[in-house]
Amino acid sequence: MENTHGGRNNLEYLCIHAPADMRKTYIDGYRSFGWELENADAQEDRLCFRRAAKLCNRTELIRLQRQFSGIAAEIRAMRRAGASRAENGGLLTGTVGAWMLACTVLFYAAGMTGLSQAALAMGITCAALAYPVYRLLSRRLETHYEPYLAMRYEDLDTVCKKALALL
């Protein structure tokens, strides 16, 4: 994730992978550790920074920077987890609907028209409910994770304030 190397001009360089939804957080956060944005490559989700190689409290800044990166990764993982659970719920509902529609054909071929009609009704219902189930789970998980995410963003802010105090 991180790549640092010293240059001839007593500058330290850092390139990190920053997903689009976290780019502003990384740019603002790394500024607190003395890094200034050198260039941002939107194609590769890469941010490159530079700072003076000689800093007071460099060890403490590096420790706080690692803490910042860990919290930011945790926030990103929490967002992905909520989205993936909602997607799985919607896909499961749609898959059950597709299987019920397939069973309709099998029941009809076996001469069980009553069971075929019941499977058809359940299959259409499940297929129609797939997206609403996804939206419902997405909203519920968002409200479930929101307090924790807010707390983690406060932790990011605290780490950045500590780092700024060291510069």
- The reported pLDDT for the residue numbered 98 is 95
122/79 same-domain check:
yes
Say if 102 falls within a structural domain.
yes
- The reported pLDDT for the residue numbered 4 is 53
The conformational region for residue 48 under phi > 0 = left, psi -120 to 50 = alpha, else beta, is: beta
- Which strand (E) or helix (H) includes residue 36? strand 36-41
Per the structure, the count of domains in the chain is 2
87/149 same-domain check:
yes
47/81 same-domain check:
no
Q: Are 129 and 95 in contact (CB under 8 A)?
A: no
Residue numbers in the chain where pLDDT is lower than 70: 1-9, 42
- The reported pLDDT for the residue numbered 19 is 86
- The reported pLDDT for the residue numbered 8 is 59
50/5 same-domain check:
yes
Say if 147 falls within a structural domain.
yes
The parent domain of residue 43 ranges over 1-55
Say if 76 falls within a structural domain.
yes
